[in-house]
């Protein structure tokens, strides 16, 4: 529902803080909450503007978090460039297709995606085991294919896609989990900027709301990372609780837009 313009920046900052906190505490998957928060809490009535704004916020937050990982040597730049380049192509195609789809139908499909994300997150396993890194051209083909697919999904829905990028990088290249996380942030940023740029051309970004959402996300992400260190032994339980919450929001969005294909 729409809100008074004076209240929306506050709601946007709170939403960004919650999404950032979730990302810092749980990890990949938190960005999927950005669109429903912008629509149902902040009050952006146009789903396409919510997706464009979400893509920009996700990109900025990802690139901000990339800096400490890069300084720590957790980014495989060659893989990041390949994944990011082909993913950007997918993101452009996905965001172009998304702009052509009716907003209600888009939210219906987004709700299904949320439920899929929730299931994948609840079944996520520890991928910290290190296997020999692949150094041949053939081993990078899965990186190209995964980049295109995840980029398209990211562009279509305005999400980061980290919940797919991280395991994809681990299984495609054999890199350690910490390096997959660092490398994925580069791709998330590239995908988000590509999608946001495509939406910006069509004037489908609420810039002031994006700024407040990003500001809240930075603060929330910092708090989430601090708490994650203290609750490291209960990460599995927290991940399950968060997955249930994402699934519940997905069901809510699905019901709200159930008549889209009716």
* pLDDT tens digits, one per residue of 114-138: 888 778 767 655 544 444 455 566 6
Question: Is residue 187 one of the residues assigned to a domain?
Answer: yes
Q: What is the pLDDT of residue 131?
A: 46
Question: Is residue 231 one of the residues assigned to a domain?
Answer: yes
Is this prediction's pTM over 0.75? yes
Question: Is residue 1 one of the residues assigned to a domain?
Answer: no
234: helix, coil or strand? helix
Tell which wins on pLDDT, 6 or 59: 59
Give the C-alpha separation, 235 to 230, whole Å: 10
For the chain, first and last CA: distance in Å? Answer: 23
Question: Is residue 53 one of the residues assigned to a domain?
Answer: yes
68 contact partners, CB below 8 Å, separation of at least 6? none
With a cut of 90, say whether residue 67 has pLDDT above it. Answer: no
In whole angstroms, how large is the CA radius of gyration of the chain?
17
Give the count of domains, the chain.
1
The band of 147, judged by pLDDT with boundaries at 50, 70 and 90, is confident
Q: What is the pLDDT of residue 86?
A: 92
Question: Is residue 2 one of the residues assigned to a domain?
Answer: no
Weakest mean pLDDT among 25-29, 106-110, 252-256? 25-29
Question: Is residue 3 one of the residues assigned to a domain?
Answer: no
Tell which wins on pLDDT, 261 or 184: 184
pLDDT tens, 243-260?
787 788 889 888 888 876
Question: Is residue 69 one of the residues assigned to a domain?
Answer: yes
Q: What is the pLDDT of residue 209?
A: 94
Boundaries of domain holding 121:
8-261
Weakest mean pLDDT among 52-66, 89-103, 138-152? 138-152
Q: Kindly report the average pLDDT of the chain as a whole number.
A: 81
Question: Is residue 103 one of the residues assigned to a domain?
Answer: yes
Give the C-alpha separation, 211 to 60, whole Å: 10
């Amino acid at each position: 529902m729409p809100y008074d313009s004076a209240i929306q920046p506050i709601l946007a900052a709170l939403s960004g803080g919650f999404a950032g906190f979730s990302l810092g505490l749980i990890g990949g998957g938190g960005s999927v909450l950005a669109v429903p928060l912008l629509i149902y809490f902040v009050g952006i009535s146009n789903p396409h503007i919510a997706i464009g704004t979400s893509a920009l916020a996700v990109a900025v937050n990802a690139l901000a978090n990339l800096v400490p990982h890069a300084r720590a040597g957790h980014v495989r730049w060659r893989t990041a460039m390949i994944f990011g380049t082909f993913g950007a192509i997918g993101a452009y195609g996905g965001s172009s297709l998304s702009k052509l789809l009716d907003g209600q139908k888009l939210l219906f499909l987004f709700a299904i995606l949320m439920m899929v994300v929730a299931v994948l997150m609840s079944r996520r396993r520890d991928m910290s085991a290190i296997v020999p890194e692949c150094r041949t051209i053939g081993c990078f083909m899965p990186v190209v294919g995964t980049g295109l697919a995840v980029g398209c999904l990211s562009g279509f829905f305005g999400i980061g896609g980290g919940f797919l990028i991280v395991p994809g990088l681990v299984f495609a290249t054999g890199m350690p989990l910490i390096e997959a996380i660092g490398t994925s942030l580069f791709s998330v940023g590239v995908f988000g900027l590509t999608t946001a740029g495509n939406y910006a051309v069509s004037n489908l970004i609420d810039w002031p709301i994006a700024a407040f959402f990003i500001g809240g996300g930075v603060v929330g992400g910092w708090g989430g990372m601090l708490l994650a260190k203290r609750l490291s032994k209960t990460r599995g339980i927290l991940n399950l609780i968060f997955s249930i919450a994402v699934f519940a929001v997905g069901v809510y969005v699905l019901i709200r837009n159930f008549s889209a294909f009716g």
